[in-house]
Structure 1
Amino acid sequence: MTEEAPAHSGRPGTPTPALKANFATISSPYYPVLMAVFVGIMLISNIAATKGVGLFGGSLVTDGAFFLFPLSYVIGDVISEVYGFKAMRRTIWTGFAILLLASLSFTVTIALPPLDGYENQAALEAVAGAVPQLVAASLAGYLIGEFTNSWVLVRMKEHTGERHLWARLIGSTVAGEFFDTMVFCAIAAPVIGVTTWGQFASFVLIGFVWKTLIEIVVMPGTYAAVRYLKRAEPSYAQSETTA
């Protein structure tokens, strides 16, 4: 059945062409997913990090995000290696904005008057109330660490080309994690219960060594992801051809 033209068209009964819906094209099906995973890891880590953790009877001090946060550097390495510093910079700033939004949301939620009979206000404040300072710690370390990580990896790649990926992954992680860990620990330590210099030294050392070891342990997976994306992204193959 044909669609009738509006009466004001002057030609009642004349079929009119269907309206066309326009949409922007997605240049890469992979990059947005990597960005979403990266931002998700950062957001979850900032909540999990509100808990101070004492491993082996408290002799090793860390936070609740120790098992997850290192993966953000793995994802950052993949994005930097395949898509370059500009794409990683966009990812970092997106994560920065989401973490600020999370901090603001928790602050507003805590400030809202609780419903009569709501018994978890104190628990909410104890957990979510610490998040803003941890976000500040994370953002400061995050910006310095992630930008350093990406910058070092890309600069090394400019000198080595496609060779020695392992050196880029380890070298960039050591540089980025060093600054990230030092800045984050210095700001976050009081929030998670680190009160002595011995605990602080353990907090910093464990964080730095652990995150670097995670990079090495998962390197086969990083290699596989990088190899797959370089083959799957038409623009990467084109850049290799025209280089």
Structure 2
Amino acid sequence: MSAPAEVRQRTSFYPIIVAVFCGLLLISNVAAVKAIQIGDLTFDGGAVLFPLTYVLGDVLAEIYGFKKAKLAIWTGFALGALASLCFWLVDALPAPPEYGMSEDFHNVLGFVPGIVLASLAAYLAGQFLNSWVLVKIKERTKEGKLWARLLGSTYAGQLVDTLVFCFLATTIGPIPSELFWNYFIVGYIFKCAVETIMLPVTYRVIAAIKKREPDYRPA
């Protein structure tokens, strides 16, 4: 007895990739609250996972094109804004006097307008540029030179992302202005290094999904 048509039909990986993309973004935004210092180098905790959103951004743009990549980016933006709004509301509501965790919640997840604005603005600018550059390079290279698309788009996107975040966070946010260059240089180099190190993994992920993605059409 043959399987039903809906079982035999291959399903798209797009929703799964978008879900992981948005999850990494939200986790990174929370982790960014903590500053990390190693020797003379200072960067925010979001740098640990946030570079992976660019890896997945590359996967989305490479396989599904700019239109669907934009949808994922806007979805991540909406969820990030919703999370910030939720944290602000919960922080503003009163807690029982005997509940001793309110101050801890405020210190970790309290709404900081400058940081929220810097994070959301940097995310939009960087991710849109990342996807746009990848698609434009692909129009010229077709299926060849994948490494040029992945690295070129990430280096451009991360440059704008890191620059916008550091500028806003040190001008209207709580980060001291004298840390601008430290945050910018260390953050940019670290994020680009993660993308470069992850390149072999990204290659394999893209190749595997292209073979199994029913909606993929070679350029």
Same fold (TM over 0.5): yes
Aligned counterparts, 1:56-205, within 5 A? 56=39, 59-130=40-111, 132-189=113-170, 194-197=175-178, 199-205=179-185
Aligned residue pairs, count? 212
SS at match of 1:53: strand
Percent of aligned pairs sharing the same letter: 45
Distance 2:18 2:151 in 1: 21
Distance 2:69 2:51 in 1: 16
Deviations 1:136-161 (A, max 9, x none): 21110011000000000000000000
The offset of 1:53, in angstroms, is 1.3
Q: After alignment, is 147-156 or 183-192 more displaced?
A: 183-192
Distance 2:68 2:11 in 1: 12
The equivalent residue for 1:20 is none
Question: Does the aligned pair in 1 maintain the 2:112–2:173 contact within 8 Å?
Answer: no
The equivalent residue for 2:12 is 29
Deviations 1:143-188 (A, max 9, x none): 1000000000000000000000000111001110010000111223
Report the residue type matching 2:138 in the other structure.
K
Deviations 1:35-56 (A, max 9, x none): 0011001101111001111112
SS at match of 1:116: coil
The equivalent residue for 1:229 is 209
Q: After alignment, is 226-235 or 154-163 more displaced?
A: 226-235
The equivalent residue for 1:218 is 198
The equivalent residue for 2:3 is none
Distance 1:44 1:188 in 2: 19
Gaps of 5+ in 2: 1-5
Relative to the length of structure 2, the TM-score reads: 0.90
Greater per-residue helix proportion: 2
Question: Does the aligned pair in 2 maintain the 1:74–1:222 contact within 8 Å?
Answer: yes
Report the residue type matching 2:125 in the other structure.
I
- Structure with larger Rg: 1
> RMSD between aligned alpha carbons?
2.0
Question: Does the aligned pair in 2 maintain the 1:80–1:87 contact within 8 Å?
Answer: yes
